[in-house]
Amino acid sequence: MYRVSTTTDQRLTAAVELAEMDGQRVTVHGMIQRIRRLGWGAFIVIRRHDGLLQCVIGRDGNEELIDGLSEEQSVQITGMVKTAKIKDKSINPNSVEIQADGIQVVANPAEHPPVDISKKILDLHIDTNLDLRPLSLRHPVERARLKVSEAFAHGFAEFLRNQGFTEIRTPKIGVAGAEGGANIFKLDYFGRPAYLAQSPQFYKQMGVGIYERVFEIGPVFRAENHQTSRHINEYTSLDLEMGFVKDHTDIMMMETALLKYCFDFIRETCGPEITLLDADIPVIDEDFPVVTLSEAHKIAGGVTGGDYSGEPDLEPDEERALCSYSAENWNSDFVFVTHFPTQKRPFYTKDDPDNPGTTLSFDLLFRGLEITTGGQRINDYQEQVEKMISMGLNPDDFESYLQAHKYGLPPHGGLAIGLERITARLLGVDNIRLTTMFPRDIKRLTP
Amino acid sequence: MYRVSTTTDQRLTAAVELAEMDGQRVTVHGMIQRIRRLGWGAFIVIRRHDGLLQCVIGRDGNEELIDGLSEEQSVQITGMVKTAKIKDKSINPNSVEIQADGIQVVANPAEHPPVDISKKILDLHIDTNLDLRPLSLRHPVERARLKVSEAFAHGFAEFLRNQGFTEIRTPKIGVAGAEGGANIFKLDYFGRPAYLAQSPQFYKQMGVGIYERVFEIGPVFRAENHQTSRHINEYTSLDLEMGFVKDHTDIMMMETALLKYCFDFIRETCGPEITLLDADIPVIDEDFPVVTLSEAHKIAGGVTGGDYSGEPDLEPDEERALCSYSAENWNSDFVFVTHFPTQKRPFYTKDDPDNPGTTLSFDLLFRGLEITTGGQRINDYQEQVEKMISMGLNPDDFESYLQAHKYGLPPHGGLAIGLERITARLLGVDNIRLTTMFPRDIKRLTP
């Protein structure tokens, strides 16, 4: 028997700390992102946990070492931190470099990469990028996109905890889909049919009866037979549900404050990534405009010349038209659209008592794309059972879900945000596959 | 068009804040957990987002109101915060109560609950508890268990971010299982076979090449045909993987510091829950003992009288024996066991160059149960390919995974902790289903 220390510090020095360490000797490690050999020596840029670091080494006495270095080697470098002016936006910190006197190679790649990830711009066909994901994600731009995505999720959790929400984890395997329809992946569960969760909807409503306010960040699965730039078949859903609301507008207000917090959080924690990606993270200082679906149709029609009146939903071209109208006339990148018709919203959606045939539901559009669906839900047991029947559903199929209503639920509602979609809009990325680490679509199951 | 405010504050007053508001008028809401009617009026305990709150109301003028109240109603209560001495450990805050002058019922249950969740101890058969989960989780003890579980996960993420780890989200649908074997759920993926992830192992190793240190908290799926108190078929795995390790002991040291942080975090954030559950959350101030598997066999044999020498793994009775020995002789609730044999560990495990046939792997035992498996992984491409072949695997089946090794990976390793298991051990709960919100086992797919 021996003992392993509980107090050893294995914390890594962050880029912002290195920037303040001018004149200090350090030992750092990382993988070589790029090498520039010059007459007097070489610049070696290594990839660390939180960014790229520039190291320089003189040629004298290091000829063999320098000539033997290659990209994607894992190295340990010892040297002096020195002030430097680095223009390359992918390098962070850009105010210091390491003047190395020793470089030790600790691991070698077996092959040179088939694409050059040391280039400033990774100009690959999307299929190549995705086929080579374990490699392409090592590029600073790809890394930065996912860092921003994680900051959004982190901010989401932090804001909601501050607001009294409890994080929950709900099963992804179950017997029925919350959203109904055919878009469900089917599974063999010990000889019985089971399904992958399309959303945590049922469970977060149950959660309201338990914790009043709940959120979940987790994978959801949609067997949608679409191959578009805005669909993937497994994505991360950011869900919240809250009790004791007066109507859907309480949820919309919670979302505006949430987004404001998340964007501020990204600006605070992702400075280098924002610079590298040249990203425009909105500063939310205006209240969000809200229109009903029929108003939205009129406005979109005014922009495109189309006639959308009576349509039960928003088409992609309408979403874009409404967003450009909002940006120009209301100074907002965001627009809420409310009062979608009863038949277009799931059975748990609360109808508007003042506008029969419409619901207390909303979508939030951001820069041309719907990023959120939400609304008030039915909390009364009898009302829910009757709505199920009126929509052709059998309440017996939802017995365990309906326990929540039967034994009491306050008025409540919630929303879901697609993490990959909002990240794509934030960063101006056209295809949500590029804001997903390892995307799944109808053709792709690897890497 | 109208605008929805971005600045409305919907924050809920926390229990700790209410405790400091003696003499102030407040309006609170919640669901009625229990009612005690007396001659002069009634005690009404409501369930709020972060605990139970005691309210009192006089009978004069409120006769009809009091008689009409029932458990699981959703109510809004206005009144004065007053100092009180409350002995009931399930009530938090226990130093104040609300002297109510108004109670408004905002929602009613359709039926009285079939079990009495207002009792201090929810003495139900486990099947009844799980069948009625949307209701039984409203009981303070059940809520508290999951709060502690969430605090563990929250502490895990917070500690690792401080140590330079990046959170990742990896796909749960894929083509092959990291752990191999038959325990994989099979899926129809647009006409192709696909599988649910048994662990994020492959992806977190790829993540090391991208971010050096990564972690993930997410569901994993094991089609194990066991019906025991320590198996469920979908559980939450807390995973980490880190680069530039010297060997498996770096990961063990990281874990000890991590657990110390998580337990301190639980003590800081879950005071009322710990009191209610009478939980013994370890204070880690001793370094953890480490033994090899063969030493473990000897020690366990000394306790039980059995002969385990040569066994390739630890049996449950050995785990218990070793833990009781450790508690008595080494003053530790924890024991690391290292050097499991090559044939019992997955193909990505690094062999010990100094002890052929054994691996640089470990399990961590806590109070009689294995809660972590971890170790150093193979980072060299050729070494990994050769080990696959020696274990009868075809490297071509792992082509996208092996990209990570082929294009370079530093020496690395990691571990996984089962959230439900560690929570069960922490709280002294016998069956991990009771530390899971909505468990899935071979017989259970609902709620």
Q: Do B6 and A147 touch (CB under 8 A)?
A: no
Q: How many angstroms separate the CA atoms of A180 and A346, rounded? A: 8
What's residue A179's pLDDT? 60
Three-state DSSP at B380 gives: coil
Q: Do B169 and A236 touch (CB under 8 A)?
A: yes
Out of B107, B150, B187, the one facing A411 most closely (by C-beta) is B107
End-to-end CA gap in chain A? 41
Q: Do B12 and A213 touch (CB under 8 A)?
A: yes
Q: Do A206 and B106 touch (CB under 8 A)?
A: no
Q: How many angstroms separate the CA atoms of A184 and B269, rounded? A: 39
Three-state DSSP at B150 gives: helix
Cβ-based contacts of A407 with chain B (< 8 Å)? 72, 109-111, 113, 134-135
Minimal Cα distance from A208: which residue of B?
A: B49
Out of A134, A225, A445, the one facing B404 most closely (by C-beta) is A134
CB count within 10 Å of CB A369 equals 18
Residues of chain A where predicted confidence (pLDDT) is lower than 50: none
Q: Do A190 and B442 touch (CB under 8 A)?
A: yes
Minimal Cα distance from B75: which residue of A?
A: A410
Q: Do B74 and A186 touch (CB under 8 A)?
A: no
- How far, rounded to the nearest angstrom, does the alpha carbon of residue A50 sit from its chain's CA centroid? 18
Q: Do B403 and A134 touch (CB under 8 A)?
A: yes
Nearest to A164 by CA among B152, B10, B156: B10
End-to-end CA gap in chain B? 41
Q: Is the peptide bond before A93 cis (omega within 30 degrees of 0)?
A: yes
Question: DSSP string of A389-412?
Answer: HHTT--GGGGHHHHHHHHT---SE
Cβ-based contacts of B110 with chain A (< 8 Å)? 380-382, 405-408
Strands (E) in A296-429, as ranges, are 334-338, 361-366, 369-377, 412-418
Q: Do A211 and B257 touch (CB under 8 A)?
A: no
Q: How many angstroms separate the CA atoms of A221 and B190, rounded? A: 13
What's residue A285's pLDDT? 85
What's residue A226's pLDDT? 87
Q: How many angstroms separate the CA atoms of A390 and A402, rounded? A: 16
Beta bridge mates, A43: A36, A56
Cβ-based contacts of B286 with chain A (< 8 Å)? 3, 6
What's residue A182's pLDDT? 74
Length of chain B, please? Answer: 447
What's residue A164's pLDDT? 97
Out of B137, B166, B168, the one facing A49 most closely (by C-beta) is B166
Q: Do B74 and A236 touch (CB under 8 A)?
A: no
Three-state DSSP at A78 gives: strand
Out of A190, A290, A409, the one facing B4 most closely (by C-beta) is A290
- pLDDT by 10s per residue, chain B, length 447: 999 887 778 999 999 999 999 999 999 999 999 999 999 999 999 999 999 999 999 999 999 999 999 999 999 999 999 999 999 999 999 999 999 999 999 999 999 999 999 999 999 999 999 999 999 999 999 999 999 999 999 999 999 999 999 999 999 999 875 556 679 999 999 999 999 999 999 999 999 999 999 999 999 999 999 889 989 999 999 999 999 999 999 999 999 999 999 999 999 999 999 999 999 999 998 899 999 999 999 999 999 999 999 999 999 999 999 999 999 999 999 999 999 999 999 999 999 999 999 999 999 999 999 999 999 999 999 999 999 999 999 999 999 999 999 999 999 999 999 999 999 999 999 999 999 999 999 999 999
Minimal Cα distance from A338: which residue of B?
A: B1
For residue B275, give the amino acid letter: T
Q: Do B254 and A10 touch (CB under 8 A)?
A: yes
Q: Do A106 and B410 touch (CB under 8 A)?
A: yes
Shortest distance, CA A40 to any CA of chain B (angstroms): 28
Q: Do A447 and B109 touch (CB under 8 A)?
A: no
Strands (E) in B393-445, as ranges, are 412-418
DSSP code for B233: S
- How far, rounded to the nearest angstrom, does the alpha carbon of residue A401 sit from its chain's CA centroid? 28
Shortest distance, CA A311 to any CA of chain B (angstroms): 19
Q: Do B256 and A76 touch (CB under 8 A)?
A: no
Q: How many CB pairs under 8 A join A and B?
A: 364
Cβ-based contacts of A186 with chain B (< 8 Å)? 187-188
Q: How many angstroms separate the CA atoms of A270 and A152, rounded? A: 10
Among B29, B31, B250, B333, most A C-beta atoms within 10 A, so best to mutate, is B31
Q: Do B111 and A168 touch (CB under 8 A)?
A: no
What's residue B163's pLDDT? 96
Shortest distance, CA A62 to any CA of chain B (angstroms): 23
- How far, rounded to the nearest angstrom, does the alpha carbon of residue A384 sit from its chain's CA centroid? 32
Q: Do B165 and A49 touch (CB under 8 A)?
A: yes
Shortest distance, CA A83 to any CA of chain B (angstroms): 23
Cβ-based contacts of B447 with chain A (< 8 Å)? 202, 206, 400-401, 403
Shortest distance, CA A221 to any CA of chain B (angstroms): 9
Q: How many angstroms separate the CA atoms of A181 and A392, rounded? A: 13
Cβ-based contacts of A256 with chain B (< 8 Å)? 4-6
**Residue written as tokens 């680490």?**
A437
Minimal Cα distance from A8: which residue of B?
A: B253
Minimal Cα distance from A13: which residue of B?
A: B164
Out of B8, B171, B438, the one facing A171 most closely (by C-beta) is B438
Shortest distance, CA A109 to any CA of chain B (angstroms): 4
DSSP code for A379: -
Q: Do A6 and B256 touch (CB under 8 A)?
A: yes
Q: Do A10 and B163 touch (CB under 8 A)?
A: yes
- Write the pLDDT tens digit of every residue in B195-234: 999 999 999 999 999 999 999 999 999 999 988 998 999 9
Q: How many angstroms separate the CA atoms of A408 and A209, rounded? A: 7
Shortest distance, CA A345 to any CA of chain B (angstroms): 22
Q: Do B410 and A29 touch (CB under 8 A)?
A: yes
Helix intervals (H) in A179-269: 201-211, 248-269
Q: How many angstroms separate the CA atoms of B194 and A187, rounded? A: 10
Q: Do B169 and A2 touch (CB under 8 A)?
A: no
